[in-house]
Structure 1
Amino acid sequence: MAQDFSLNVSNGVGSSNRAPILVANEYHHWLQRMERLGGGQPVMNHPTKDDLDKMENDAIAFYEISCGVSPDNFDIIINCKFTKEIWDVLKNLYEGTEQDQDKKLTTALNEFNNFKANAGESLKDSFKRFNLIVTKLSNSGTVRSNHETNLQLLNGLGRH
């Protein structure tokens, strides 16, 4: 019978040059990662060298990504068969759909355009809050010029 103890090591973080550690309460994750380490690629009748190279690269990327996610995220990608599937699932999870991204951009633009210092807010806190808004814009793919950003901040500080 396997002992149930924690090594304080998660199979959510791995290495490409060694097999994942077997921890009793994470056996299912360990098993999936071991299967992926073996390749798990479909068999082709007459693969070309290019096909074999692509399959090998996909298997390496597949395993690297599998070892690089937390157990919670691994549960989300566990049924993916190809690297592109994993990539798309994780991208959708963290970036959202195109509609989600548009909503984030619209929200960030509104926050930027309507920025004003709050009553009693220090200059440092106002700048910090404004900088977070500019970062949201940047993360959404919209970059404002330094001139426009500075003017918006100054205008926002002037209205109380």
Structure 2
Amino acid sequence: MAKPSPEKMSSGSVSTGIFMADGFSQTRRPRFEGVHYGYWKNRMELFICSTDPDLWDIVLDGPLEVKEARGKWTYTDKKNFQLNSKATNLMYCALGPEEYHRVTGCKSAKEIWDKLQISHEGTSHVKISRINSLKQEFESFIMKPDESIREMNERFTTIVNSLRNLEVEYASADLVRKVLWALPKEWTPKVIAIEGSKDLTKLSLDELIGSLVTHEEKLRREELEEPKREKKGIAFKATSQQEELE
């Protein structure tokens, strides 16, 4: 079987969309085209740290200030310059054309990182406002009528991930309790059963959702079988009445 040409492989990768264009390669830097900044930010941090932890320090803290002329640099000065150059190159190479032009002129990886963060997350005041809004969504979160467990979990995960991108983390036990309390009244027996049989501090959110999905499917099967049982009951009653008449 013939292997696809590089052109076809390239066009295939583009057809999957800008968001997934870089795939999930461990060696290829995540590419940022201006959308899903929080997603890219987390992946870029992991990529830089896995490449060299010292590079991430340069991104966060910036390079050390060197006052001496380049010919008088010490080994530490040269190492610092090299790390900043490498981190800056990683940042620039990870950006699409529009984002690249947004940060053109930045001399350090920290400048690039900070400028992208302000552009896509806003200033600290805007960030705090966004955090407060998401926290309010988290606190008031409940399952909607006619919403499935999976649909509810998707909404909940979006809120939690958005807060995580803004450096707000909740303990696993708090997430589990929040989901249990978000369920409607008809789920009360199941909630009581879970709270009575499970240690919520050790129960993961994925395990909880899996258990709720299984219970939901069981309830759905029972609802489908209920009309059949009613029909059988009516038929049995009619048969009994007929036999009595006879």
The structure 2 residue matched to 1:74, chosen from 100, 110, 122, is: 100
Does residue 85 (structure 1) correspond to residue 111 (structure 2)? The answer is yes
- Could you tell me which runs of 5 or more consecutive residues in structure 1 were left unpaired when the two chains were aligned: 1-6, 14-42
Relative distance call for 1:156 and 1:143 in structure 2 (3 A) is: same
Q: 1:144 to 1:159 in 2, by over 3 A?
A: farther
Decide which of 137, 140, 148 is 2:166's aligned counterpart: 140
Change (3 A) 1:116 1:65: same
Counterparts in 2 of 1:38-49, with a 5 A limit?
44=70, 46-49=72-75
Are 1:117 and 2:126 an aligned pair? no
What pairs up with 1:42-57 in 2 under 5 angstroms?
A: 44=70, 46-57=72-83
Structure having greater relative contact order (Cα 8 Å, sep ≥ 6): 1
Give the match for residue 86 of structure 2: 60
In the TM superposition, what whole-angstrom CA distance separates every residue of 1:70-90 from its partner, at most 9, and x where no partner exists?
A: 111110111212333222212
Matched AA of 1:148: D
**Larger-Rg structure:** 2
- Aligned-residue Cα RMSD (Å) equals 2.7
Q: In the superposition, relative to structure 1, how do residues 109 and 93 fare at CA in structure 2: closer, same or farther (>3 Å)?
A: same
Instruction: Give the secondary structure class of the aligned counterpart of 2:72.
Output: coil
Query: Could you tell me which amino acid in structure 2 is paired with residue 97 of structure 1?
Result: T
Structure 1 residue 159: Cα displacement: 5.9
* 1:106 equivalent in alignment to 2:132: yes
With the length of structure 1 as denominator, give the TM-score of the two structures.
0.62
- Percent identical pairs in the alignment equals 24
Q: Whole-Å Cα distance in 2 between the matches of residues 103 and 159 of structure 1? A: 33
Q: Per-residue deviation at 1:142? A: 2.7
Contact 1:118 1:126 in 2 (8 A): yes
Unaligned 5+ runs, structure 2: 1-9, 12-21, 23-68, 187-246
TM-score with structure 2 setting the length = 0.42
The structure with the largest helix share of the pair is 2
Q: Structure 1 residues 50 and 152, CA, compared in 2 at 3 Å: closer, same or farther?
A: closer
- Equivalent positions of 1:147-158 (< 5 A) are 147-158=173-184
